[in-house]
Homo-oligomer: A and B are copies of this chain.
Amino acid sequence: MTTTSPQGRTELLRPDGSPVRVLVVDDELSITELLSMALRYEGWQIRSAGDGQGAVQTAREFRPDAVVLDMMLPDMDGLAVLGRLRRDLPDVPVLFLTAKDAVEDRIAGLTAGGDDYVTKPFSLEEVVARLRGLIRRSGAADRRSDSVLVVGDLTLDEDSHEVSRAGENIHLTATEFELLRFLMRNPRRVLSKAQILDRVWSYDFGGQANVVELYISYLRRKIDAGREPMIHTRRGAGYLIKPAAS
């Protein structure tokens, strides 16, 4: 089931209308805090745990619809935690967090059951998008919710990564795609450059803040080129996207 909030954001809800529940497991407090904040903002109910022991315990009682699980925990191996979790909650989908340079070997099989993973450092958009996908596919949320965002004559398909305006296909790079997704998930809403940077770029991004301007510029070339513009600048505040008509 999905509902649309007054701000125009669509939220995933469970079939009974209650909020989706997500358990976040990571030993670094800064990460759990970051994730908890971002995921709460999605309208989800969040609990967190700092080790495998706590994860299993919390899961048993909290009964989450999805779990975000760091593979590197102080007390247990991530796979061991997974096993225990699955004993109580056989169908819960898991999003694994793995270190980028952690030799690519131990990733084997992680996505096999419909689970997914992201590498640290991640961007929040990435985590949220993957989680939404997992929850959508697990059936914890109404299955009818589909993977296509629509704003005016602009559409973005989160499964096929296809973007089109007025029926015409548009190729975007990975970063452009994530930026547009963030804008489209918050239509008619001004998003500051800081918000965009925090959401779309990975949390350890240390570059110039004007990458946002740069990528907005790229997007405009591809999406607004020669058409009624949909991406608007609010000087001193940020950017927003809205249907061309209004």
Residues of A in contact with B (beta carbons under 8 Å apart)? 5-7, 29, 33-34, 36-38, 40-41, 83, 86, 90-91, 104-105, 107-115, 117, 124, 137, 143-147, 159-162, 173-174, 188-190, 192, 194-195, 197-199, 203-206, 209, 234-237, 240, 242
A142 to B30, CA, bound (A): 31
A111 to B192, CA, bound (A): 9
Cβ–Cβ < 8 Å partners of A144 in chain B: 6
Q: With A38-B113, A114-B41, A146-B6 in contact, is A242–B160 under 8 Å at CB?
A: yes
The one of B5, B33, B117, B206 in contact with A83, judged by C-beta atoms closer than 8 angstroms, is B33
Cβ–Cβ < 8 Å partners of A236 in chain B: 173-174
A174 contacts B237, C-beta separation under 8 Å: yes
The one of B111, B112, B147, B194 in contact with A107, judged by C-beta atoms closer than 8 angstroms, is B194
Cβ–Cβ < 8 Å partners of A195 in chain B: 111
A6 to B124, CA, bound (A): 26
A111 to B37, CA, bound (A): 10
The one of B143, B190, B198, B206 in contact with A161, judged by C-beta atoms closer than 8 angstroms, is B190
**Nearest CB on B from A156, distance (A):** 13
Cβ–Cβ < 8 Å partners of A5 in chain B: 143
A-B contact pairs, 23 of them (CB 8 A): A5-B143, A6-B143, A6-B146, A7-B137, A34-B113, A36-B113, A37-B114, A38-B112, A38-B113, A40-B91, A41-B112, A41-B113, A108-B203, A108-B204, A111-B199, A112-B198, A112-B199, A160-B188, A160-B189, A160-B242, A161-B240, A173-B235, A173-B236
Q: With A34-B112, A105-B206 in contact, is A237–B83 under 8 Å at CB?
A: no
B111 contacts A198, C-beta separation under 8 Å: yes
**Nearest CB on B from A180, distance (A):** 14
Cβ–Cβ < 8 Å partners of A36 in chain B: 90, 113
**Nearest CB on B from A167, distance (A):** 11
The one of B7, B40, B108 in contact with A205, judged by C-beta atoms closer than 8 angstroms, is B108
The one of B117, B159, B194, B203 in contact with A189, judged by C-beta atoms closer than 8 angstroms, is B159
A195 to B137, CA, bound (A): 15
A204 to chain B: closest residue by CB = B108
Q: With A117-B194, A160-B242, A235-B173 in contact, is A124–B108 under 8 Å at CB?
A: no
B137 contacts A124, C-beta separation under 8 Å: no
